């Protein structure tokens, strides 16, 4: 069953990911509004994910990754953050962020553990 992160918990969830998954291996993919899935980064080191209010009308999530160069992926006006269960052990992968312009998918290794959600 999908686990949705409540909007009010987004900043704290991002902070926990930064603390507990910095240096993890991550794959970054997007699905555009036409349903086309694109792999942007096959394998990189997770550096950070930050949620902020870009201005009075827009929210912003910025993901930073590093492989041979730094990748900065901006998600404007995120709508929903969901986690897909990997198995019955309480692990989640991938992390999916739906926004007005499509979906961003982050697959982290190691996975996100249920204890990170409390």
pLDDT for the residue 90: 83
Instruction: For residue 67, name the pLDDT band (cuts at 50, 70, 90).
Output: very high
- For residues 43 and 52, give the distance between their C-alpha atoms in angstroms, rounded to a whole number: 25
Per-residue pLDDT, averaged over 30-46, amounts to 97
Do residues 22 and 44 make contact, with C-beta atoms less than 8 angstroms apart? no
Give the pLDDT confidence score for residue 105 in this predicted structure: 98
Domain CATH number, residue 28: 2.70.180
Mean pLDDT of the chain: 93
Residue 1: pLDDT band by 50, 70, 90 thresholds? confident
> CA separation (Å) from 51 to 13, 54, 61, 86, 101?
9, 9, 4, 25, 17
DSSP 8-state symbol, 102: E
pTM of the model as a whole: 0.93
Contact 51, 60 (CB under 8 A): yes
Q: Based on the structure, what is the number of domains in the chain? A: 1
Full domain range(s) for residue 92:
3-117
């Amino acid at each position: 069953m999908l686990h949705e992160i409540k909007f009010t918990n987004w900043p704290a969830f991002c902070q926990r990911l930064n603390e507990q998954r910095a240096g993890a291996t991550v794959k970054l993919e997007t699905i555009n509004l036409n349903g086309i899935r694109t792999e942007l980064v096959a394998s990189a080191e997770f550096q950070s994910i930050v949620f902020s209010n870009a201005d009075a009308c827009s929210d912003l999530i910025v993901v930073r990754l590093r492989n041979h160069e730094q990748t900065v992926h901006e998600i404007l006006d995120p709508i929903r953050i969901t986690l897909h269960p990997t198995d019955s052990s309480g692990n989640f992968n991938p992390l999916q962020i739906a926004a007005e312009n499509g979906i961003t998918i982050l697959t982290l290794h190691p996975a996100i553990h249920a204890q990170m959600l409390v």
